Amino acid sequence: MLVYSPEEEEVFFDQIDQVYTLTESQNLEEAEQLLLEINESIPHPKENCSVGGILLDSIFSFYEQTGQVEKALPHFLKETEYLQEKMKTETVKSSGHFITTGSIYYALGDLDKARVYFKIAHGLGKNSIFHDFNADFLHMAVTSDVEFEEFKQNFVPVDGSLQEELTDEQQDLMEEYCEQGNLEMDAENFDKAAGWFQKALDVLPAPKEDWEAAGWVSASCGDAYFNAGKYKEALEHLLVAHDIYISEEEVNPFVLLRLGETYFELGDHENATSNLLAAYEMEGAELFEDDQKYLTYLKTKHKL
């Protein structure tokens, strides 16, 4: 098993982040070239490398996003062939690559081949592994041959243009970047922390505000900028977080607190007062335990 060191992992994730950045800016040829260079740097089988699975998911995500999902197929066939051979003598727990391979055939309209891989995946992990995937995938894995033929005759592919769930690779990147951001916050390296949280936000597909994670990651980014004394940047992210929570009919007292404090530092006392008061009314003085300066100010404006 090839296990990347923390330093090697950081380089790897930086490169994957570059692929995302290049893709978003429509530099697709450069993004693909970099992705394939990363792929060449990790020996086959990817199963035997600590970041191999993330790389394969990145390959699928890139080609799916660019409408060239067929280009991901050779990479996954190479991996699943290895896993199928391994299954003859060893226990294999990895089912995700079989589902992805099946999903590629599904997108290409080859339902018979798709079903083969869905059935293999189901044999490894049963129904639960299909939880976050298109419902057709599990149906194809467990249905009888007769029912499958009927399914093919009436098949209408589900429109995948609107992504409803983050891919495993995107989720892994989000968690990695946020973990690094939290470590930098603990070390009081607030500028670096903000950079990591911004990277996490960049992983989210557009429109970013439609993703639940955008609320708390934007709040974390705003908190980091606030602690770094960059109040204009903090306000931008905190307002995004606040709008997201409001749209979900939730109110986050910490975001209100940081908004009030940020407005105060920017000299906007009207908005500072309204947000600080709203935070106080929700959580009381305990919320201001580390922010006595702002509680003292609020007391000059309202009888608490």
Please write the tens of the pLDDT for every residue from 173-201. 889 999 999 999 999 999 999 999 999 99
Tell me whether residue 1 is exposed, middle or buried, using C-beta atoms within 10 angstroms of its C-beta: 0 to 12, 13 to 18, 19 or more: exposed
Tell me whether residue 52 is exposed, middle or buried, using C-beta atoms within 10 angstroms of its C-beta: 0 to 12, 13 to 18, 19 or more: buried
CATH 1.25.40.10 domain range(s) in the chain: 6-153, 168-301
pLDDT exceeds cutoff 70 at 158: no
| Residue 178 structure tokens | 């946020």
Length of the chain: 304
| Residue 197 structure tokens | 């949280």
Under 8 Å between Cβ of 226 and 258: yes
User: How far apart, in whole angstroms, are the C-alpha atoms of residue 230 and residue 190?
Assistant: 10
Position 208 confidence tier, pLDDT thresholds 50, 70, 90:
confident
pLDDT, tens only, 65-108 = 888 999 999 999 999 999 999 999 988 877 889 999 999 999 89
Cis before 207? omega within 30: yes
Give the list of residues 6+ apart from residue 77 with CB closer than 8 angstroms, or none: 101
Under 8 Å between Cβ of 291 and 257: yes
User: How far apart, in whole angstroms, are the C-alpha atoms of residue 133 and residue 104?
Assistant: 13
Q: What is the pLDDT of residue 160?
A: 47
Q: What is the pLDDT of residue 303?
A: 80
pTM, rounded to two decimals:
0.56
Reduce the DSSP state of residue 218 to 3 states and report it. helix
Under 8 Å between Cβ of 72 and 63: yes
User: How far apart, in whole angstroms, are the C-alpha atoms of residue 140 and residue 112?
Assistant: 9
Distance of CA 229 to CAs 119, 190, 261, Å?
55, 9, 11
User: How far apart, in whole angstroms, are the C-alpha atoms of residue 232 and residue 154?
Assistant: 55
Q: What is the pLDDT of residue 162?
A: 47
Q: What is the pLDDT of residue 161?
A: 45
Tell me whether residue 94 is exposed, middle or buried, using C-beta atoms within 10 angstroms of its C-beta: 0 to 12, 13 to 18, 19 or more: middle
User: How far apart, in whole angstroms, are the C-alpha atoms of residue 209 and residue 244?
Assistant: 7
The label of the residue with tokens 């997108």 reads 107
pLDDT, tens only, 110-147 = 999 999 999 999 988 777 788 777 888 999 999 999 99
In CATH terms, the superfamily for domain 168-301 is: Tetratricopeptide repeat domain (1.25.40.10)
Under 8 Å between Cβ of 179 and 217: no
Q: What is the pLDDT of residue 102?
A: 95
Average pLDDT over residues 276-294: 90
The domain 6-153 having CATH identifier 1.25.40.10: the answer here is: yes
Please state, rounded to an integer, the average pLDDT across all residues of the chain: 89
126-137 burial, b at 16+ Cβ within 10 Å, e below that, comes to eeebbeebbebb
| % of the chain residues with pLDDT over 90 | 61
Residue of 158 and 62 predicted with greater confidence: 62
